[in-house]
Structure 1
């Protein structure tokens, strides 16, 4: 799903009076970030990468810093530099001998999808993509997932009317309630399978929470369980109460925030990826065990970028970490390895998406198979969550 998830950012940009926390001022130039994460990175991530990987490993995210990318920030060594003009943070990749550059996405790149950025900028080695996006773009912008940080997608449909009590997507569909969402490929699958009714889908969602508040939570809206529930309860003063939700990942097998590579780069970077991907695996395990240093770095980075009001807080990120664990969003793969893919699950996803994508005029590559879009070749089978 396109990440239109910034409650504060879009409220500030639109000048909405929702009683949000103040919209931050932007800063420019390059400056160092004070972080405790660097010490851990230097100690834990020591695989020699000099001469094997690019001197600077560039990772393109699909949004501002957030809990989904905590493990990537975990890899930054001491004294990372924030470039507010370029929306990047960079520094040593642990003690590997090369640097890491993390690029913000979404509004920072004019909402260009990561698959398009792969082709615009050859410096980008890795990017974060939802697997349904990989399938959708497999014909014209092919890429390959190399690591699945999320075992279950954090995508949700949420509502605020306490009289509503949905437990499945089909419950939402039967209700006929308006479902506010962007123009997403998975919707065709949900409608085609009868889970939602086409007539209830409103594709006008732009990330703005004002309509949800104005209608007193009487609509169903797309969002992310690691973000909106906390913001609505704690940051949006005109709401300031819990919401209910159904997790899409309980019924729809898409892998979210897959770490991916442009397809033609897999072979040429095979040696690099074999050493680099396990570092990302280990960083996620370490981040879940102690997220605070990387979270503080992301808060600092975000405070120095012109995000039109998008903000992070210790409470928001800690809540996201808790939900990642308690809801099983981050878990070992079916083979017991952290970050591995289940080929049968991917094949099911291809099958569910193909009819709708074809009808919409964006068919996947002909004869698309799981091995065309995912690989577990570079994953270290010894790394798992305890």
Structure 2
């Protein structure tokens, strides 16, 4: 690995273990390996991934580490390392804290990959095993870079349209905004604004596609509406944006009918067969990690905050935001917990509706979605275990 890798772990524990086992002096990374191998109990046969999965399971994230990826950080064992060149974190892939026999690497997306889509990156870089892809992008990818979504981390997207309640005390929903001429500031690569226009909830003339993620526009002109995420901006604007420092109001897009599954763990369509034996074992581990994160997110959140803190190119991510995010995802029912209690399974009737609903909007935007596309071609419950969940 490169020279900028930063080792995370407890040096004092490492030294104690080295002394206890009479091991010779070694580098810090060697010490971490020794700690991990001595400290972690092997997983049960059903959760042993060695021989079924790649030696290093590489997951391409859609953004920098944050709490809506919590399940993946539940699977990251102790002694992990942060690589600031590769914008990644690597460690032992664990199931319930036990060693599965393979490693896990989580790579940041967004600016870390030049804002390419995750599906594009998966087709460019053959070392990537899995990618996190939102539901609308799973459909969009079917045009030229098809993927199969095998389990969702989020039942619904946390995407919102937000506004200043003092400027617009009468707004309660996106539909209310659409009854006015107020500007709605969004980023140009998003699908949902055009979907809202197609559904008659907003007017095309209201869309301003200049959103760059910074709060300055909203702070400077509180008469606008703006895109955001329920598990982020409501907290950061009130607690970490001194120029604003007060609550915002918002409407979840799912409540307007944009009810896609989000953060879908996906595999390239042409790799489903070759990775089948891996996915059969790995997907239930991911499901259980989601259930564990819903139940107690503290340890995974701590790892996320720690990883982000070690790379100055990442936007700061505080313990407060991580805790708020996890609670918001749970309280709003956004974590992938289905009505039957299962975690990380798909309601195929819902994804069928999503495909039918979003395909015309994507095609109108120039995407060459196959006319014959079905939900079963891009989503599957083949590898999930419906008995895993919060009951």
Structure 2 length-normalised TM: 0.87
Match of 2:385 in 1: 380
Whether 1:354 aligns to 2:359 is yes
Does residue 239 of the first structure (1) align with residue 244 of the second (2)?
Answer: yes
Alpha-carbon shift at residue 365 of structure 1 (Å): 2.1
Instruction: State the Cα distance separating 1:43 from its structure 2 match.
Output: 5.9
Aligned to 1:73: 73
Counterpart position of 1:147: 151
Secondary structure class of the residue paired with 2:153:
coil
Give CA deviations for 1:172-194 in whole Å, capped at 9, x if unaligned: 21122111001222222221111
Which position in structure 2 is the counterpart of 1:3?
none
Distance in structure 2 (CA, Å) of the matches to 1:316 and 1:44: 33
Aligned equivalents of 2:43, 2:166: Cα separation in 1:
47
Equivalenced residues, count: 356
Q: Which residue of 1 aligns with 2:205?
A: 199
Name the structure 2 match of 1:34: 9
- Can you give the 5+ residue segments of structure 1 that lack an aligned partner in the other structure? 1-26
Q: Structure 1 233/28 Cα, relative in aligned 2: closer, same or farther at 3 Å?
A: farther
Quick one: distance in 1 between partners of 2:165 and 2:367? 36
Distance 1:45 1:148, change over 3 A: farther
SS of the residue corresponding to residue 390 of structure 2 reads: coil
Cα deviation code 1:266-308 (max 9, x no counterpart): 1111110010011111111112222112211111111111325
* Aligned match of 1:83: 83
Q: In the TM superposition, what whole-angstrom CA distance separates every residue of 1:113-140 from its partner, at most 9, and x where no partner exists?
A: 1010111111111110011011112110
Query: Quick check: 1:45–1:75 contact (8 Å CA) kept in 2?
Result: no
SS of residue paired to 2:89: strand
Does residue 99 (structure 1) correspond to residue 122 (structure 2)? The answer is: no
Q: Please report how far the alpha carbon of residue 45 of structure 1 lies from its aligned counterpart in structure 2 after TM superposition.
A: 5.6
Q: Give, in angstroms, the shift of residue 78 of structure 1.
A: 2.1
Q: Partners in 1 of 2:353 and 2:6 — Cα distance?
A: 46
> 1:254·1:349 contact (CA, 8 Å) conserved in 2?
yes
SS of the counterpart of 2:179? helix
Mapped partners of 2:171, 2:246: distance in 1: 18
User: What is the CA RMSD across the aligned residues, in angstroms?
Assistant: 2.0
Aligned positions of 1:1-386 closer than 5 A: 29-34=4-9, 42=40, 46=44, 47-94=47-94, 95-164=99-168, 165-183=170-188, 184-215=190-221, 217-250=222-255, 251-307=257-313, 310-386=315-391
- Summarize deviations over 1:194-225 as a string: whole Å, max 9, x none: 1110010111112121100001x211100101
Distance 2:269 2:62 in 1: 18
Q: CA deviation at 1:44?
A: 9.4
Cα distance in 2 between the residues matched to 1:58 and 1:355? 33
In structure 2, stretches of 5+ residues that fail to align are 14-35
Provide closer, same or farther for how the CA distance between residues 33 and 153 of structure 1 changes in structure 2, counting only shifts above 3 A: same
Per-residue deviation, 1:60: 0.6
Cα-to-partner distance string for 1:63-115 (whole Å, 9 max, x where unaligned) = 11101112111111120111111111111111000000110111111111101
Contact 1:146/1:260 (<8 A) preserved: yes
Q: Is the 8 A contact 2:305 2:322 kept in 1?
A: no
Kept in 1: contact 2:6–2:310 (CA 8 A): no
Describe the shift of the 1:45–1:178 C-alpha distance in structure 2 as closer, same or farther (beyond 3 A): farther
Of stretches 245-254 and 356-365 in structure 1, the one that deviates more from structure 2 is 356-365
**Are the equivalent residues in 2 in contact too, given 1:139–1:366 (CA < 8 A)?**
no
Aligned-partner Cα distance in 2 for 1:43–1:313: 31
Q: Distance in 1 between matches of 2:194 and 2:355?
A: 13
CA contact (8 A) 2:152 2:336 kept: no
Q: In 2, Cα distance between the equivalents of 1:122 and 1:202? A: 36
Instruction: Say which SS state the counterpart of residue 139 (structure 1) adopts.
Output: coil
**Which of 1 and 2 has greater Rg?**
2
Give the whole-Å Cα distance in 2 for the aligned partners of 1:124 and 1:205.
30
